[in-house]
Chain A
Amino acid sequence: MEVLLEAKNVKKHFPIRKGLLSRVVANVKAVDDVSLTVHRGETLGLVGESGCGKSTLGRTMIRLYEPTAGEIRFNGRDFTTLKGGELRRARKNIQMIFQDPYASLDPRMTVGQILRQPFEIHGLLGSAAREAKVLDLLKIVGLKPSHVNRYPHEFSGGQRQRISIARAIALEPEMIICDEPVSALDVSIQAQILNLLKDLQDRLKLTYIFVSHDLSVIEHVCDRIAVMYLGKIVEVATREELFKNPKHPYTQALIAAIPRVGEGKRKIKKSLGGEVPSPINPPSGCYFHPRCPHATEKCRTQTPKLEGSLHEVSCWLY
C-alpha cells in the first residue's frame, strides 16, 4: 500500500512561561515522539481520552501547529520545511473538519462566501465557475441551492457540519483530518454525517485521519487505529485486530469501559482506577504504569518503545 503521510519522531511541546521575563518554566508535552504512517485511501483512527494529544497530533500534521521536532512527509515530500506559497499549495491537499461547527464557520459570512473562499485563496476558477462549483458542493453534501445566501446560525448542528465538509472537499484534497467531527451532534444526526463521510471517501478516493474519543464511532469508520495516552502512541493495529486482540492494558481498559447496548442492566465495574497524569510532568518509565494493573519495576524505570510489524504495541509485557 502506498504511504501518503509519514510522521517521524514528531514532538509538539507547548512552553509554559512565567514571571516578568516570561521564562519557560516547563513544557506541556502534548505530542511526545510520535511516528506514524497513513496509507492512501485508508481511514486511520486516533483515539484516546482528553489530553492525550490526539487533536494536537492531527493539527500538527497539517502544521496548524508547528512541530517542535520531527519530520512529516506528505506524498514523499518533507512537509515540515515548506514555506510561503509552497506550503499554501501543499496544504490544498490536506484539509480539516473540526468538532464544533459553531466555532469553525465565520458567523458573518454566508454559506456561499464560505465555500468560495478556498478558490479565492488559491486563485482558482473564474467567478461563474466558482458559483457553479459552490452549488455543486452544496448538492454533494446534501444541502439545497437555496441555502447559498444563508448564514451559519440559520442551520442546525448537522447542517453546519455539512457546510464544513463542503468547504473541506472544495479543493479536492487527497486527505482530510476529521477532528471529532460528530462529537457535538445528536445520535441520529451523527449517523447521517458518518454516512456522508463514507460516501465522499468512496467517491473522491479520500484518505482520512479520524480523531475521536468514541470507540464505537472509531470502530465503525476506521481501517487502522492508533491508541494514544499522554502524548504517545501506545498501540497501532487494524480495526479487527485491535478489538479482537487488544494488547496494551490501556487499550484493554478503554474497550472494557465502552457501555454495551441491549444486554440489560448490569453491575458496572470500573476498568481503570486513577486519572490521567499531567503532561507537564509525566511519570517515569512507561507513562501508564501508575494506573496499570500489570506494572513491574521495569515499567517504573524504563520507557517501552512502540514495536511490532502489523500490530504495534509499546508495553513491556510483550
Chain B
Amino acid sequence: MVKPTAAREPILKVEELETTFFLKSGPFRAVNRVSYSVSKGETLGVVGESGCGKSVTSFSLMRLIEQPGQITHGRVLFQGHDLLKLPEKQVQKVRGGKMAMIFQEPMTALNPVLTVGRQIDEQILRHEAVSPEEARERSIKMLKKVGIPSPEDRYSNYPHQLSGGMRQRAMIAMALSCDPEVLIADEPTTALDVTIQAQILELIQSLQEEKNMAVQFITHDLGVISEISDRVMVMYGGMKCEEATSEALFNSPKHPYTAALIQSRPQLGHREHRLRTIEGSVPAPHELPAGCPFQNRCPRRIALCSKRPPEIEIQPGHRVACFNPL
C-alpha cells in the first residue's frame, strides 16, 4: 500500500526553519534550520526525545509561537504561499482550515465550558459560508465518521463527559471538519492505552487514505512512528539528524543517535540482559554545544564534530547530518 514517495508532489515544504526563544540565559534555538517536505497522502513521522524541538517545529508551521519565542528564519511553503510572510488574518484562514492540528491532551486542547458539538460548529462556521443548521448537521456527521457512538447525543456533551479515547476522536472530528490537506498530529496517542491507541491510529490512517491528506505525525514512541510513517525524520537538540523511509531508518540507521535510540528501547523477542544506553542526558538549552548537538554523548565523535554537520544524501532518500555516519 506504500506508494513510492518520489513520484508525489510535496504539498508542504519547510525550508531552513529556525525558531528562537529569547530566554534570560540567552537565545535558545529550539528549531535550528530544519528543512523537510510532506506530500499528499504521505505520512512523515517526526521522532525525538523531550526538548528535541519536534513540537516547536509543528507549532511554528501553524504560527503558534508565543513570546519569548520567535520564528527567526526560514520559509513554510503551502499552496504557493510562504505562511511565515502571510498577514495573521490569512494565516487564521489556513489554520484549522486547510491545515489542521490535533494534540496530545484533548482535555486541554478542547474548551471545557463549551459542548463538543458547538466547538466543531464554530470551526466550520469560521472557515466556510454555511448556516448554523448546516454546520450542526456536518458536525454530527463528523462525529459519526470518527466512530463516536450516538453522535446526536454526544454533540451536546461537554469534553469531561467523554472518555480519553472519545475526546481524541472528537478532536479529530474537529480537525477534519474543514477537509484539511495537511494534518499535524502532535503525540495524539501518547495519553491513551495501547488498544485505544490502535483504534485511533487505524482511524487516522483510514481518514488519510480517504481524503489523500498529508500527515505530519509527531511522537516519541518509536513503535508507533515505525508503523504509521512512510518517511521518518529524527530530531535532536533542535536539528534534524536523519531522514529516511521507515524501513530504512529502523533497519539501517546511519546517525549514531538514531542507532542508539533504537537500541535503547526494549524490543519484543530480543531480550538482552542489559539495554544499550546513551550516556548522559539530553542537554539543557544553555548546555547545547556548538556544532553537532549530539557530540558530547556520541561514541563516534571526531574532531570535525565541533562544526555543524551538513546534511548528506547517503542513499537515495536517506539523508543524514553527521561527519562520521555508520
Inter-chain contact A50/B247, CB cutoff 8 Å? no
Q: Is the CB of B282 within 8 A of A215?
A: no
Which residues in chain A, 214-241, are within 8 Å of chain B measured between CB atoms? 215-217, 219-221
Residues of chain A lying within 8 A (CB to CB) of residue B260: 188
- A259 CB contacts on chain B under 8 angstroms: 221, 223-224, 226-227
The residue of chain A having its C-beta at the shortest distance from the C-beta of B49 within the complex is A186
**Per-residue contact bits, chain B 267-303, to A (CB 8 Å; 1 contact, 0 not):** 1110101111110011000000000000000000000
Verify A265–B262 contact, CB threshold 8 A. no
Is B163 close to A, CB under 8 A?
yes
| Residues of B with C-beta under 8 A to A217 | 266
Q: Determine how close the nearest CB of chain B comes to the CB of A211; give it in whole angstroms.
A: 14
B248 — nearest CB in chain A belongs to which residue? A264
Task: Check if A191 sits within 8 Å of B275, measured CB to CB.
Answer: yes
Chain A residues lying within 8 Å of B271, measured Cβ to Cβ, are 219-220
Report the bound CA distance from A221 to B272 in whole Å: 10
Query: Which chain B residues in 205-243 approach chain A with CB under 8 Å?
Result: 205, 220-224, 226-230
Contact: A265 with B246, CB < 8 Å? yes
Q: In the complex, what residues of A have CB within 8 A of residue B226's CB? A: 259-265
Is residue A27 contacting chain B, with contact meaning CB distance below 8 A?
A: no
Q: Does A108 contact B (CB under 8 A)?
A: no
- The interface bits of chain B over 193-213 (1 if a CB of A lies within 8 angstroms of the residue's CB, else 0) are 111111101100100000000
Residue of B nearest to A216 (CB): B266
B53 is an interface residue with CB less than 8 A from chain A: no
User: Is B282 touching A261 in the complex (CB atoms < 8 A)?
Assistant: no
Q: How far is the CA of A198 from the CA of B43 in the complex (A)?
A: 38
Interfacial chain A residues near B221, Cβ < 8 Å: 259
Known contacts A187-B222, A259-B224: does B268 contact A216 (CB below 8 Å)?
yes
Query: Once the chains bind, are B202 and A270 in contact (CB under 8 Å)?
Result: yes
Question: B193, B268, B282: which contacts A260 (Cβ < 8 A)?
Answer: B268
Contacts A187-B49, A257-B194 given; indicate if A265 touches B43 (C-beta within 8 A).
yes
Cβ–Cβ contact A189 & B281, under 8 A = yes
Query: Which residues from B are CB-within-8-Å of A265?
Result: 1-2, 43, 226-230, 246-247
Which residues on B sit within 8 Å (CB–CB) of A34?
Answer: none
User: Is there contact, CB below 8 Å, between A213 and B1?
Assistant: no
* B275 and A220 contact, CB distance less than 8 A: yes
- CB-CB < 8 A to A273: which residues of B? 199
How near does chain B come to A39, taking the closest CB pair, in angstroms?
Answer: 20
Q: Sorted from nearest, which 9 A-B pairs have the closest CB atoms?
A: A259-B223, A220-B266, A264-B247, A49-B193, A191-B264, A262-B250, A191-B275, A186-B49, A188-B278
Using a CB–CB distance below 8 Å, which chain A residues touch chain B? 49-50, 156, 158-159, 186-192, 194-195, 198, 213, 215-217, 219-221, 243, 253-254, 257-273, 275-276
- What are 27 inter-chain pairs, A to B, with CB distance below 8 A? A159-B281, A186-B281, A187-B220, A187-B222, A187-B265, A188-B260, A188-B261, A189-B281, A190-B264, A192-B277, A198-B273, A213-B193, A216-B265, A221-B266, A243-B268, A257-B195, A258-B223, A259-B227, A260-B268, A262-B247, A263-B227, A264-B2, A267-B1, A270-B195, A270-B199, A272-B195, A276-B193
